[in-house]
Amino acid sequence: MVPGRTLLSVLALATAAFASPIVIDESHVKVTLARHNIQQKSGYNVLEHDRARLATFKAKGAAKASVAERAASAAATNSVTYYSLAVGVGSPATTYDLIVDTGSSNTWVGASTQYKATRTSTDTRDKVAVSYGSGSMSGTEYTDTVTLGTGLTITKQSIGVASKTSGFEGVDGIVGIGPTDLTEDTVSGVTEVPTVTDNLYTQGTISEKVVGIYFQPPQGTSEAQINGELTFGGVDTTKTTSAITYTPLTTTEPASYYWGINQSITMGGTTIMATTAGIVDTGTTLLYLPEGTYNSYVSATGATLDENTGLLTVASESDLQSLYFTIGGTEYELTANAQIWPRDLNTLIGGTANKIYLVVASTGEAAGSGLDFINGYVFLERFYSVFDSTNNQVGFATTSYTDATSN
């Protein structure tokens, strides 16, 4: 740790010189993440889950008042993939396995393992209810001591204790690290609920409201694998292979309610998506693009729709070429290999072992919706991402997996 400090400081200075402000906090704390791969009962579940989530994102923007009703009509379908971390609650602590979600901001437990009140638990008697498109929770809000990973402790964190949930089988709840505004209207009698990031900052544990996220593509077929890391308060530069470049949060609604950014995409020198607003989301599996962009991609690759999975398929990897994302003036290359669903996991989504399925899907709407794309796991497993609510920006950097031919 100590020899690394000099290097971190040098990097911080070097980056600050040519990009927007970046603070690499020496007191940042790393928490290990596990990737879970869940067998789907039939094909299409990946798309159904992601699209239900997308519909909820859009509904929230369109009619804030009726969020709960609209979201409740969406199918509750478990995700094929999620990342989780161990979170201790109470003293002595009970450990819960919670999904990391940048698209929501409440933290709650109780979907599988029952909440166990201890001397640090306070029942606020306020009601909590949150809808996710892919599920929902309702229950009572408590405050309690929360420990993230092995040693990052927050006192009096507001947490939901679920009495009713849907769509969260096999997991205990969520750590929501989206913008704090997303907690509005989720807890009775409270305007906003401070997130874990807010409290780490308020309690002096971190000096910037920044979360760095490192995911890597799945390896092999195991159901759970430790292959990610969350860093509160800074960036873990041991995981990045370039400087982090930042882009301001978009002002376009409804993308602006989430971690929304402006982005354009080219392929073979042709712009297939002009600059438009969308979001970066750790609760979405695939890469969603507006209909016109998706159609251009289909034409250029000759991909066809596979009946069993609902995903595009090509005969050979050589049918694909890199997609170039321009975000905040920096180009990020999503390689041909990165556009392929992890082949080891083909059967999880109802596919055939040796086929090539693609991770590019359509939002089902033309560009101009205000939320035209979602950069899900398949993007975040190739680029380190930084969610910075102190400076209202999102950053990306390459990692050793950016160009990996892991699929």
Instruction: Give the residue numbers annotated as catalytic, written as ranges.
Output: 101, 281
In the complex, minimum distance from the CB of residue 140 to ligand NAG, in angstroms, rounded to a whole number = 38
Burial bucket for residue 298 (CB in 10 Å: 0-12, 13-18, 19+): middle
Q: Which of 32, 251, 304, 352 binds ligand NAG (CB under 6 A)?
A: 251
Smallest distance from ligand NAG to CB 50, Å: 23
CA distance 394 to 100: 17
C-alpha separations of 229 from 85, 149, 243, 326 in Å? 9, 10, 18, 25
Nearest to 134 by CA among 96, 185, 174, 87: 174
**Encoding tokens for residue 162?**
């679920």
Q: Stretches 65-73, 107-115, 127-135, 249-257: which one binds ligand NAG (CB under 6 A)? A: 249-257
The helix/strand/coil state of 357 is strand
Nearer to ligand NAG among residue 120 and residue 389 (C-beta)? 389
By CB under 6 A, the residues from 219 to 248 that bind ligand NAG are 248
Residues 6 or more apart from 69 whose CB is under 8 A from it?
none
- Closest CB 382 distance from ligand NAG, rounded Å: 23
DSSP 207: S
354: phi > 0 → left, psi -120 to 50 → alpha, else beta; which? alpha
Site mask for ligand NAG (CB under 6 A), range 273-312, x = bound: ---xx-----------------------------------
Q: Report the number of secondary-structure helices (H) and strands (E) in the chain.
A: 6, 23
Q: Phi and psi for 202 in degrees, rounded to 5?
A: -60, -35
Taking the alpha carbons at both ends of the chain, their separation in whole angstroms is 33
Of residues 81, 199, 262, 335, which one binds ligand NAG by CB under 6 A?
A: 262
d(CA 70, CA 57): 10
Interatomic CA distance for residues 272 and 240, integer angstroms: 28
The yes or no reply on residue 134 touching ligand NAG (CB under 6 A) is no
**Choices 57-65, 122-130, 250-258, 324-332; region in contact with ligand NAG by CB under 6 A:** 250-258
Distance in Å, CB of 220 to ligand NAG, minimum:
40
Q: State yes or no: residue 392 binds ligand NAG (CB under 6 A).
A: no
**Shortest distance, position 248 Cβ to ligand NAG, whole Å:** 4
Closest to ligand NAG by CB, 133 vs 370, is 370
Size of the site for ligand NAG (CB under 6 A): 7
Does residue 250 interact with ligand NAG by CB under 6 A? yes
Nearer to ligand NAG, 248 or 292 (CB): 248
Contact footprint for ligand NAG (CB under 6 A): 248, 250-252, 262, 276-277
